[in-house]
Amino acid sequence: MRAPTPLDRLFSLFPLWPLLTGVIAGVCWADKFGTGDFVLAAIIGIITLLCFRKLPITLLVLGALLGHVTHGLVINHQATWLRTVQAKQPSANIALTGVVIQTLGPTQGGPYLIKVRDAEDLPSGVRILLNAKRHAPLKYGDIINLNGTLHAVTPRRNPHGFDRAAWLHRLGADLTLETHQAITVTGVSPIRKPVRILTDWRHHLRKKMTTGLDPDSEEAQLIRAVVLGERPPRDSKMIENFRNSGALHVFAVSGLHVGMVGTLIGGLLWFLRAPRWALISGIILGMALYAGITGLRPPAVRAVLMASIFLSGFLIQRRPSLINSLAASAIIVLLGDGHQIFTPGFQLSYGVLLALAVATGLWIQILKPMAEIDPFMPRLLLTPWQERILSGRKWLRNSLSVSLAAWMGSAPLIWIHFGIITPIGILAGIPLMLIVFLILALAMLGLAAGSLWEPAGKAVTQANAIVAHTAYHAATFFAHIPGGHHYHQPHRPPNGRIIVFDLPYGGGANFLDLGGGILLDCGRRDHFTRHVQPTLNQLRLTPDSLIVSHADSKHSGGMSHCLASFQPKQAIIPRSDLLSQSYRTFLSQAKNEHCRLVIPHANQIFHIEPGVYLEILHAPVEIEGHGLADDSGLVIRLHWHGWRILFTGDAGMITETRLLDSGKDLSADLIVMGRNSDDFTGSQIFYQAVTPQAIITSNCPFPARERIPERWIHLTQKLGIHTFDQLQTGAVTLTLEHDQLTLTPTLDSTRPITLKH
């Protein structure tokens, strides 16, 4: 008989890993190609089985076929719906029945993720994003009948920001549904009633666990984040400090939280002398209830599944294997939802646990000297104090080993997905995880005590607030240690770049990555935080100067937020007496923040760096009266190493006439423009004076006055001007290289163009 090879011995120890490998391969293949070639794949698999009659090969092929067919059917159904909607453009009206399976918004007003039960001739089981802000709030498990219009999820329109379309695709939704009629709730899904009840508990517990605290205080926010996974507000410094300390995962209910809850429940049952079967069953049930209360988030569900498989081994009196338990749970998860393998959460969950299983023992051996005494020192001669010190050293060695192993598993993935690496997390994780465990324990104790006697619950909550305060300051301390974290620095073109953002409803924002960085308009605050700030954060760009072209909320409504976020040195403004409320708030805040306000005059020059400067062509301060906002704005020409770019904002015929009457040289290679809400924008005589090679223009279907008129399109075609319609291009990035100006759209539907002198 042939002696077993090392590979045979490995597969005998971990028999499920060939099956998992096959499932992963099948899911990836189906995600790329669907199930169109399933028959061919099955034939190849059968031939492989006949040629290699070994159990690992059999499991590998079986896993590949299972992964291929389960995920392939999901992909095919999503593609069928998407093709149907695209064939019915511009509108695809539909009546369907579905069940609410998730609320994606911060409030109960949606949007909602629904799973389709019945929809005319289309396959059921597909997920759709439902926008129903004008309707009464829906709840998890509601069975609904509705009519509406289907649209494909819009792709990312601004560079480097959050890709909402890709995120929704991995949730199984490629379409959004806009409703125009009342939504009828016909009942509640029976299988979802338990989780619905737990969701109601969540709203009750959310208030109870911070009783006596200011709901908006940092302590209350941190307690809710740790216990319920409720993310603090976007502009909170808390998120940044925990991210830079390597402990941001405390804000997402994950395996860490589920494990802590299981530990607390297990400790209580052990103290009560519960038998093994009751202890293990209680731990599993408690973790499942916690996952349900926190919204059945995928990381929590995965953790409960992993823990259940692992702990079940003790029930049948078998020694469980963490690595095999990981494989078993991953197989179940991927066969149920193959999309999860492509998400950072899945990769981090299993990557960290696999690293813990494999590398913890290795690090314990490496750090073994930390917990040893002199070999010539008999253990019996140690004093009680020395014994305690030795026990502390062993605990520190084990904690460091776990922290190092977890960091090995998470650091590469965090760097790939989020562009940050946090060596300080190896040390910070030990005290912070202990404090987080204490916050979770005190929250549970406070809820229990408060249900018996409210003053006792409030006392525990106050103590928990002190612990939460300590956690926040500890994270802040670790976050500010030099060299404790490093961000990926994206490539910056040698001559800088300009990003012309695409904002809804005719808003405008531009970033000039020149000198110290200039933000020329920012849009409304909500548009800035959703469309502009993610790009700046991803590219690690922080402007030191702001420019307000004109006092319109769609262009400068978020400037006060920019002041708080970037602490700029100066801001160029059109004038100080304009009436917009958001603009006046910005001026007041700028003075308080010691941001120098500059009101320019016509022909004034602002040098940025050698070969780059701004020239003011139209200065509203020189105009009598207030006038309309769109025609009371700055018109700026950027000189960029020999290239001239004209930023006209929302200037209309009135401003264009003023510029023409001034007799100035208005020539520019490129115009960046919006639409004037009360006047025609872009006259032939003005373009003949400017002689641009290309124009980047906003174009919003609604409201109608922000839409590009047909006659304007004919005019630019007649003059031979390249037009970048942002409805078709999304944001446009300008780069300068070898005396050539390249305009690169964000959307693939338009090709880049290169301008030459």
pLDDT in tens, 462-514: 999 999 999 999 999 999 999 999 998 888 999 999 999 999 888 899 999 99
Q: CA 532, 538, 540 angle in degrees (round to 5)?
A: 100
Q: What top-level class would CATH report for the domain 88-188? A: mainly beta
50-54, 182-186, 725-729, range with greatest mean pLDDT: 725-729
Q: 706 and 677 in contact (C-beta within 8 Å)?
A: yes
Q: What's the alpha-carbon Rg for the chain, to the nearest Å?
A: 30
Provide the residue count of the chain: 757
**pLDDT tens sequence across 30-55:** 998 877 676 666 777 677 766 777 77
Determine how many CB atoms are found less than 10 A away from the CB of residue 116: 21
Helix then strand count (H, E) for the chain reads: 25, 24
Q: What pLDDT is attached to residue 451?
A: 86
Q: Confidence band (pLDDT; 50, 70, 90) for 1?
A: very low
Q: Which of 117, 112, 116, 160 is nearest to 133 (CA)?
A: 112
Q: Tell me yes or no: is domain 497-756 CATH 3.40.640.10.
A: no
Four-point Cα dihedral 53, 54, 58, 64, nearest 10: -110
Checking DSSP bridges between strand 753-756 and strand 184-188, what pairing results, if any? unpaired
Q: Confidence band (pLDDT; 50, 70, 90) for 350?
A: very high
**Residue 91 corresponds to which tokens in the numbers above?**
């509108």
Segment 21-38 mean pLDDT: 85
Segment 120-140 mean pLDDT: 82
Rounded to two decimals, the pTM is: 0.86
Query: What distance in Å separates the CA atoms of residue 390 and residue 395, rounded to the nearest whole number?
Result: 9
Q: 480 and 237 in contact (C-beta within 8 Å)?
A: no
Query: What distance in Å separates the CA atoms of residue 262 and residue 311, rounded to the nearest whole number?
Result: 11
Query: What distance in Å separates the CA atoms of residue 625 and residue 215, rounded to the nearest whole number?
Result: 46
Query: What distance in Å separates the CA atoms of residue 506 and residue 484, rounded to the nearest whole number?
Result: 42
DSSP-assigned states of every residue in 726-742: HHHH-SEEEEEETTEEE
> Half-sphere exposure of residue 228, counting CA atoms within 13 Å on the CB side?
23
The residues pairing with 93 across neighbouring beta strands, listed in sequence order, are: 149
Q: Confidence band (pLDDT; 50, 70, 90) for 126?
A: confident
Query: What distance in Å separates the CA atoms of residue 668 and residue 673, rounded to the nearest whole number?
Result: 13
Q: Which of 596, 592, 585 is nearest to 559 (CA)?
A: 585
Query: What distance in Å separates the CA atoms of residue 398 and residue 404, rounded to the nearest whole number?
Result: 10
**pLDDT tens sequence across 371-411:** 787 777 777 777 888 888 888 889 999 999 999 999 999 99
What are the sequence ranges of the domains in the chain? 6-81, 88-188, 201-257+317-486, 497-756
Sign of the torsion formed by the C-alpha atoms of 471, 472, 474 and 479:
positive
Element (H, E) at 511: strand 509-513
Identify the burial level of 466 via C-beta atoms within 10 angstroms of its C-beta, where 0-12 means exposed, 13-18 middle and 19 or more buried: exposed
Q: Where are the beta strands (DSSP E) in 62-172?
A: 92-103, 112-118, 127-131, 142-152
Contacts of 253 (CB under 8 A, 6+ apart): 228, 229, 291, 294, 295, 297, 299, 300
Q: When comparing pLDDT for 11 and 694, which is higher? A: 694
**Residue 590 corresponds to which tokens in the numbers above?**
């700028």
Query: What distance in Å separates the CA atoms of residue 80 and residue 59, rounded to the nearest whole number?
Result: 31
Query: What distance in Å separates the CA atoms of residue 488 and residue 540, rounded to the nearest whole number?
Result: 9
Three-class DSSP category at 289: helix
DSSP-assigned states of every residue in 639-660: EETTEEEEEEET--HHHHHHHH
**Residue 156 corresponds to which tokens in the numbers above?**
């990312």
Query: What distance in Å separates the CA atoms of residue 315 and residue 280, rounded to the nearest whole number?
Result: 7
Q: What pLDDT is attached to residue 420?
A: 92
Determine how many CB atoms are found less than 10 A away from the CB of residue 492: 12
Q: What pLDDT is attached to residue 200?
A: 84
**pLDDT tens sequence across 265-289:** 999 999 989 998 899 999 999 999 9
Segment 599-611 mean pLDDT: 94
Q: Confidence band (pLDDT; 50, 70, 90) for 151?
A: confident
Query: How does 621-644 read in b/e, with b if 16+ C-beta sit within 10 Å?
Result: bebeeeebbbbbbbbbbbbbeebb
Q: 31 and 23 in contact (C-beta within 8 Å)?
A: no
Q: Cis peptide leading into 90, omega within 30 of 0? A: yes
**pLDDT tens sequence across 311-320:** 888 887 777 7
**pLDDT tens sequence across 629-664:** 546 789 999 999 999 999 998 888 888 889 999 889
What percent of the chain stands above pLDDT 90? 46
Q: Where are the beta strands (DSSP E) in 158-227?
A: 173-179, 184-188
DSSP-assigned states of every residue in 546-602: EE--SS-HHHHTTHHHHHHHH--SEEE-S-S----HHHHHHHHHHHHTTPEEE---T
Q: When comparing pLDDT for 264 and 89, which is higher? A: 264
Q: State the chain's mean pLDDT as an integer.
A: 87
Residue position matching structure tokens 């200065």? 619
Q: Looking at residue 233, what DSSP letter applies?
A: P
**pLDDT tens sequence across 63-72:** 888 998 899 8
184-188, 552-556, 619-623, range with greatest mean pLDDT: 184-188
